[in-house]
């Protein structure tokens, strides 16, 4: 089973994307997934 995206994971991805300029389109999807998974276990 895959690990669910957390807010911490999304933040880490967004920070890396901002530093490298890569995966800009994935930033919003990561945050959206983290928001949907918030409170779920």
Phi, psi of 39 (to 5 degrees): 90, -10
d(CA 12, CA 17) in angstroms, rounded, equals 9
Q: What secondary structure does DSSP assign to the chain, as a single string? A: -PPPP-HHHHHHHHHHHHHH---HHHHHHHHHHHHHHTT--
Q: What is the pTM of this model?
A: 0.62
C-beta separation of 31 from 14 below 8 A? yes
- pLDDT in 10s for each residue of the chain, 41 residues: 678 888 888 888 888 888 888 878 888 888 888 888 886 65
């Amino acid at each position: 089973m895959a690990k669910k995206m957390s807010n911490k994971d999304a933040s880490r991805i967004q920070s890396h994307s901002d530093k490298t300029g890569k995966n800009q389109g994935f930033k919003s999807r990561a945050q959206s997934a983290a928001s949907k998974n918030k409170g779920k276990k």
